[in-house]
Amino acid sequence: MDQTRTEPPVLRTGVLGCSDIAWRRALPALVADPAVELVAVASRDEAKARRFAGHFGCEAVTGYRALVERADVDALYVPVPAALHEPWVETALRAGKHVLCEKPLTVDAVATRRLVELAAARGLVLLENFMFQFHAQHRAVRDLLDQGAIGELRSLSAVFTIPALHPDDIRYRPELGGGCLLDVGGYPIRTAQLFLGPELRVAGAVAVRDPGSGVDVAGAALLVSPEGVSAQLTYGMAHGYRSAYELAGSEGRIVLDRAYTPPADHRPVLRVETKGGTEEIVLPADDQWANLVRAFAAAVRGERHLDRYTEATLRHAVLTGEIQRAAAAGPR
């Protein structure tokens, strides 16, 4: 009997855009995965494309369309500014490419649903990159909840705030989809979805805008589940750094710091506080970027289904729009 094992095909991947997140996180993860081949990186700036390509050992391409049209590329990672996601993801899907797109997938719910339906109709994988969902620490939190460690869940609070950015940062440009809600705000929203389910409604929201650019630089939202469990979300990009969430129950609470951007060698600590005292549970280190790339490649091979992430993307887009409208309406 022939015991020879046929390895799955390597996922030939290109990158549309030379962003900071691509340089620091995404490209290292793509290069490190043996099931992925980084073929090329594209930029409208030839020098930038060459710098990225030289560092990561791939080909430099000038112009996004030239990369999309290449026959030797199966999938594309898209880290261009948020307002450009929709046209370039659509172009990639129509060219028959699987797509891993930086969050948010688009800047409105109608466009998000249209792209999801286009990918499904063409049998292509489309994944929005909220990479934190692929870290094992959140599964550990869910397990504690399911075990009744803090009784019945009563509320959730989540925060992701970062210091002010360089004045030239694209997140200060409204025409490119700037603002904190579409950037760091997505993480607390997705956390609420993760633990409170898909049927959240927006009870209220506020936004503080930068007087120069007009984008939101601070915000908060209150979401409520059908069972009456509340989620208090805080986000901003004019703050001290904070990345954490807390789940409060009838018998205690669970606190997780460094919730959204832990380094691959970080050992998470879950703090469980009850009337019996405080316990700190130290978890193994985990690499959410490696897990993300592995999941995407497995989905392309047909070995993993990402339906729950797709449903979360659709609902997330709706919630974001509702938060924007609630903040614009002001106090009632």
User: Known catalytic residues?
Assistant: 103
Q: Which residue has the tokens 């700190």?
A: 280
Tokens representing 275 are 């009337």
Closest CA to 289 of 75, 24, 25, 55: 25
Contact residues for 90 (Cβ-Cβ < 8 A; gap 6+) = 115, 118
CA distance 124 to 142: 30
Write down how long the chain is: 332
Q: Are 137 and 270 in contact (CB under 8 A)?
A: yes
Q: Based on the number of CB atoms within 10 Å of its own CB, is 35 exposed (0-12), middle (13-18) or buried (19 or more)?
A: middle
CA-to-CA distance for 259 and 269, rounded, in angstroms? 10
Task: Scan for tokens 């989809």, then name that residue.
Answer: 177
Coil, strand or helix: which one is 216? strand
Q: Outline where 22-166 has alpha helix (H).
A: 27-32, 46-56, 64-68, 85-94, 109-121, 136-146
Amino acid sitting at position 268 = P
